[in-house]
């Protein structure tokens, strides 16, 4: 597996409420019908069956998974589609309704054609799904298994098996005492790194920052102007999501009837600001809640690195700009700061994706909120002038205090405790960065150690605490 994950892949624009349960399944469904078209059999398809297994089946309804699958079959893309077209897509099928695969080939599907199978665990990952296309006689034309592995990333069964084989080969080489040089990996970038130690060594050797290493890699994969435009678009989308959440009022979808709070928070904070009160932390929390209320409402968000944790990185970035008005007021300085911020966050996030997990179904919420908190801590440390060692320390501190965090959404909805959890984690990220900036970067527990600890904790964690809504708050809160 390549050691490098592009910032433009790790941060992807999509729709709520879940990267693994909404964005990933939508991409998988679209990819499946695209393979039918590429194989010349799309016009022969008369029926289609989808089975959502494991965690996708357990919390699929609350996470909008069946709706996302139908939207993907229609050819909708999470980055470009109108979010309003996704909710209700599955229920509208009822006992039979037309579905235009890729927007052109019509078949009839019922709601039973997208089946939830929470007790069926596919071998590669908790978020597995199977697609089967049928001809007019009901015989299978094509079948494919997909896995939504977190953060909107999707792999076929063959791709996942290949990735696992590569990781096993690397582990075997390491156990045999063979040194693995990251520069030999087929990553296609000048500065690949497999872990934080290698990233820090690169920074020291090149006498540069983590963001500069990421920039050099990105601008090798794509033209520099394309990278700049892509990173700017990511930040602009994040910031717009904050603004939208601070303006919108009402009740979030689902049986919990959770009211939005960010707008009321904003109004109270504006009055407090007029009185000269210190509202720094409260604004930080409001920024995070605004994003996650937008996510819970199925609206446009940036997967950062997941939708369940989408509010942390935007909130901490907005916090930096709010507390540094000189940077915020200068468009050129603001662009440079936010590019540094996101490139640093992506470099850290790539370590979690490679060496542990960013999937709540695989690692619990430590893999989602914990990873995002760590990324945001390192990123704001960087824009505050931290050295690479201090950035690594900030990222480590943040994750160290998220270890063991469970994923237990009440009612299978990305609302309680998810929205508030983002607000608290944003505060933790800022605190971790400030603590790291007080030192010289030297510390006892390395980021690599805490990432491996998170991975081990995820492996040991009971399945009921990993996005299945069968443990924790999900079963101890009485739904009214």
**226, 215 Cβ separation under 8 angstroms:** no
Cα 206 from chain centre = 30
pLDDT at 2: 46
pTM of the model: 0.94
C-alpha–C-alpha distance, residues 272 and 318, integer Å = 19
Q: Kindly state the tokens that stand for 80.
A: 């470009």
Tens of pLDDT, residue by residue, the chain (480 residues):
345 799 999 999 999 999 999 999 999 999 999 999 999 999 999 999 999 999 999 999 999 999 999 999 999 999 999 999 999 999 999 999 999 999 999 999 999 999 999 999 999 999 999 999 999 999 999 999 999 999 999 999 999 988 776 665 555 655 565 544 444 444 689 999 999 999 999 999 999 999 999 999 999 999 999 999 999 999 999 999 999 999 999 999 999 999 999 999 999 999 999 999 999 999 999 999 999 999 999 999 999 999 999 999 999 999 999 999 999 999 999 999 999 999 999 999 999 999 999 999 999 999 999 999 999 999 999 999 999 999 999 999 999 999 999 999 999 999 999 999 999 999 999 999 999 999 999 999 999 999 999 999 999 999 999 999 999 999 998 765
What's the CATH fold of domain 196-465?
Answer: 2-methylcitrate dehydratase PrpD (1.10.4100)
Backbone phi and psi for residue 299, each to the nearest 5 degrees, phi listed first: -95, -175
C-alpha–C-alpha distance, residues 467 and 458, integer Å = 12
C-alpha–C-alpha distance, residues 200 and 392, integer Å = 8
Instruction: Domain ranges for the chain, please list them.
Output: 16-157, 196-465
The count of other CB atoms within 10 Å of the CB of residue 259 is: 11
Of the candidates 98, 85, 40, 90, the residue with the CA atom closest to the CA atom of residue 61:
90
pLDDT at 4: 75
pLDDT at 388: 98
The verdict on domain 16-157 having CATH code 3.30.1330.90 is yes
Q: Kindly state the tokens that stand for 84.
A: 């309003």
Of the candidates 45, 155, 149, the residue with the CA atom closest to the CA atom of residue 104:
45
- The secondary element (H helix, E strand) that includes residue 226 is helix 224-247
Q: Kindly state the tokens that stand for 369.
A: 């909120």
Of the candidates 129, 75, 82, the residue with the CA atom closest to the CA atom of residue 106:
75
C-alpha–C-alpha distance, residues 214 and 339, integer Å = 10
Helices 65-73 and 24-38 pack at an angle, to 10 degrees, of: 30
């Amino acid at each position: 597996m390549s050691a490098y994950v592009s910032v433009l892949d790790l941060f992807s624009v999509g729709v709520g409420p879940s990267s693994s349960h909404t964005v990933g399944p939508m991409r998988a469904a679209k990819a499946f019908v695209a393979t039918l078209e590429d194989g010349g059999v799309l016009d022969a398809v008369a029926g289609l069956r989808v089975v959502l297994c494991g965690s996708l089946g357990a919390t699929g309804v609350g996470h909008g998974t069946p709706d996302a699958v139908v939207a993907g079959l229609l050819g909708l893309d999470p980055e470009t589609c109108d979010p309003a077209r996704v909710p209700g897509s599955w229920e509208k099928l009822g006992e039979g309704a037309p579905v235009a695969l890729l927007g052109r080939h019509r078949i009839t599907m019922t709601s039973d054609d997208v089946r939830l199978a929470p007790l069926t665990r596919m071998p590669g990952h908790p978020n597995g799904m199977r697609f089967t296309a049928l001809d007019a006689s009901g015989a299978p034309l094509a079948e494919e298994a997909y896995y939504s592995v977190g953060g909107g990333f999707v792999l076929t069964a063959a791709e996942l098996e290949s990735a696992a084989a590569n990781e096993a080969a690397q582990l075997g080489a390491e156990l045999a005492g063979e040194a693995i040089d990251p520069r030999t990996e087929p990553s296609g970038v000048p500065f690949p790194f497999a872990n934080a130690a290698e990233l820090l060594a690169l920074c020291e050797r090149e006498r540069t920052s983590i963001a500069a290493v990421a920039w050099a890699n990105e601008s090798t994969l794509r033209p520099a102007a394309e990278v700049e435009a892509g990173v700017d678009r990511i930040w602009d989308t994040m910031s717009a999501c904050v603004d939208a959440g601070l303006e919108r009022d009402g009740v979030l979808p689902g049986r919990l009837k959770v009211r939005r709070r960010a707008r009321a928070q904003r109004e109270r904070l504006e009055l407090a600001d007029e009185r000269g009160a210190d509202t720094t932390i409260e604004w930080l929390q409001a920024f995070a809640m605004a994003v996650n209320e937008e996510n819970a409402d199925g609206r446009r968000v940036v997967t950062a690195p997941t939708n369940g944790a989408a509010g942390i990185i935007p909130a901490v970035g907005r916090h930096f700009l709010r507390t540094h008005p000189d940077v915020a007021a200068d468009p050129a300085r603001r662009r440079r700061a936010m590019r540094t911020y996101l490139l640093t966050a992506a470099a850290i996030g790539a370590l979690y994706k490679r060496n542990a997990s960013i999937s709540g179904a695989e690692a619990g919420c430590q893999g989602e909120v914990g990873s995002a908190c760590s990324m945001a801590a390192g990123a704001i440390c960087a824009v505050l002038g931290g050295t690479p060692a201090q950035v690594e320390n900030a990222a480590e501190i943040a994750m160290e205090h998220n270890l063991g965090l469970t994923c237990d959404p009440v009612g299978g909805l990305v609302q309680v405790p998810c929205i508030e959890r983002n607000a608290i984690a944003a505060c933790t990220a800022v605190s971790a960065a400030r603590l790291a900036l007080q030192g010289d970067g030297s510390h006892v527990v390395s980021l690599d150690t805490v990432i491996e600890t998170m991975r081990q904790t995820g492996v040991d964690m009971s399945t009921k605490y990993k996005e299945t809504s069968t443990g924790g708050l999900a079963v101890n809160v009485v739904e009214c």
